[in-house]
């Protein structure tokens, strides 16, 4: 059937349903360059304004998967499970989670990304480890997975190339927020990756992409439906991101904290979420006789971490980078810390050099923020509340502007109940 971009745009502009043939054609034609960026931008805006039903989103996702290769892990002796987070501040969970799940008997092929804006990227964090490589061939990835049980690396150009073009276009045309496009972007890569099961960590709150529980629930339900439609057992947890995770936001800072978790310590919220996601991943993979809490305590998860890092060229014993300059922010009053805004802390860490505004921008391995108190803690006037780290001290003033108004301290004795880490489960 003959197709043209204008008729496809008009269909969605006029609140119609795109046919399977229209979706297949427009994704393929855009990937090949037959449909121009400005035409796809118009279609993306029509989707943002008028939405898509489940059939349309599923077909859109399938077309993006079909634009490239699909990986296959059937040669492995272990079931595979993967996790995806929609991104947040201090979200280093992938680092302890992948080796923990591997230590419990499931293989973890974790394709991760780099950070943009206030959210840090998993690959940026790991690249602070001397020698560690994010870029692996498919053969290298399979070898690391087969020999260590877990791999964290960059997605190859062959996986869902249509999504790579669409993501870049959405970023500059004000259509990032379209839930059908967010869901299909995430799920096309995860399904093409070839994992047998998938657990989604959908963040909710000021430091997350989804600010409200309703939007997060819609996104999670859409992605769980897409996974189910494509034969991947998928579960989602909605998790709190009104406060940063753990006590660090940065790159090397978060690696140190992740190693503390693997050593049996670390902040309680990071440990809680790591174990919760591990249990979901193991259950989805059909591994039900392992206890992830025990694997953290007995050192077996740490053993996998060390093998995984070494297999990708890193030195697990190497000293991590430390920023050249520090600046301490002190509590303005005594009392109970009742709020520490994740978005503000994330923006400040980004301004210190821990993140990037463009994909090609460099990041500082040692930059970021240490938090010396979390909501619910009692503080005294003048005690250290935050420590800012950067190699370029001229960044401090800009970062401090982001921190103004980022925390509240109530009178001593004020009742305070922290939000639970896990808010909902969607399956």
Residue numbers annotated as active site:
84, 163, 170, 185, 189
CB neighbours of residue 188 within 10 Å:
27
Between the two ends of the chain, the Cα-to-Cα distance in Å is 38
Please report which helix (H) or strand (E) contains residue 55, including its range. Answer: helix 54-66
Q: Which two tokens mark 259?
A: 């190693």
User: CA 348, 315, 261: angle at the middle one, nearest 5?
Assistant: 55
Residue environment code for 401-415, b if the CB has 16+ CB neighbours within 10 A, otherwise e? ebbeebbebeeeeee
d(CA 334, CA 411): 7
- Among 233, 245, 240, which Cα is nearest to 281's? 233
- Among 88, 65, 71, which Cα is nearest to 184's? 65
d(CA 327, CA 187): 41
Helix axes 54-66, 213-229, angle to 10 degrees: 60
Helix axes 252-262, 300-311, angle to 10 degrees: 140
111 beta partners: 153
- Beta-carbon contacts of 15 under 8 Å, excluding residues fewer than 6 positions away, are 50
Are β-strands 325-330 and 384-390 bridged in parallel, bridged antiparallel, or unpaired?
A: antiparallel
- Among 182, 243, 175, which Cα is nearest to 218's? 182
| Residue labelled with tokens 């802390």 | 345
**Where do the DSSP E strands lie in 53-120?**
82-85, 108-112
Question: DSSP letters along 211-279, please?
Answer: -SHHHHHHHHHHHHHHHHHTT-EEEEEEEE-SS-STTEEESHHHHHHHHHHHTT-S-HHHHHHHHHHHH
């Amino acid at each position: 059937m003959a197709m043209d971009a204008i008729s496809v745009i008009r269909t969605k502009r006029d609140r119609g349903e795109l046919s399977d043939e229209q979706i297949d054609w427009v994704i393929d034609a855009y990937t090949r360059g037959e449909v121009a960026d400005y035409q796809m931008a118009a279609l993306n805006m029509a989707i943002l304004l008028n939405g898509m039903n489940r059939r349309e989103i599923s077909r859109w996702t399938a077309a993006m998967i079909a634009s490239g290769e699909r990986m296959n892990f059937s040669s492995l002796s272990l079931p595979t499970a993967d996790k995806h987070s929609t991104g947040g501040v201090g979200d280093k969970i992938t680092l302890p989670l992948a080796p923990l799940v591997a230590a419990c008997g499931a293989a973890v092929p974790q394709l991760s990304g780099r950070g943009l804006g206030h959210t840090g990227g998993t690959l940026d964090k790991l690249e602070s480890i001397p020698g560690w490589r994010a870029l692996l061939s498919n053969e290298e990835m399979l070898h690391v997975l087969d020999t260590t049980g877990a791999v964290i690396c960059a997605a190859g150009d062959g996986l869902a190339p249509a999504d790579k073009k669409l993501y870049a276009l959405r970023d500059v045309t004000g259509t990032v927020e379209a839930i059908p496009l967010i869901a299909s972007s995430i799920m096309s890569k995860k399904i093409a990756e070839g994992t047998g099961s998938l657990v989604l960590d959908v963040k909710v709150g000021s430091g997350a992409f989804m600010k409200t529980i309703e939007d997060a629930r819609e996104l999670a339900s859409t992605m769980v439906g897409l996974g189910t439609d494509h034969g991947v057992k998928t579960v989602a947890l909605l998790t709190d991101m009104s406060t940063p995770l753990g006590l660090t936001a940065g790159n090397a800072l978060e690696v140190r904290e992740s190693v503390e978790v693997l050593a049996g310590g670390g902040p309680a919220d990071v440990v809680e979420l790591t174990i919760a996601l591990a249990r979901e991943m193991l259950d989805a993979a059909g591994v039900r006789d392992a206890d992830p809490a025990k694997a953290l305590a007995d050192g077996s998860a740490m053993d996998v971490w060390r093998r995984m890092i070494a297999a990708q060229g890193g030195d697990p014993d190497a000293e991590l980078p430390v920023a050249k300059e520090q600046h301490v922010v002190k509590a303005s009053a005594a009392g109970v810390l009742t709020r520490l805004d994740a978005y503000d802390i994330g923006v400040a860490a980004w301004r210190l050099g821990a993140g990037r505004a463009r994909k090609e921008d460099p990041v500082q391995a040692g930059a970021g923020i240490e938090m010396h108190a979390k909501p619910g803690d009692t503080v005294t006037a003048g005690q250290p509340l935050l420590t800012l780290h950067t190699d370029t001290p001229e960044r401090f003033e800009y970062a401090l502007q982001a921190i103004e108004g980022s925390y509240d301290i109530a009178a001593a004795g004020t009742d305070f109940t922290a939000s639970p880490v896990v808010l909902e489960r969607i399956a």
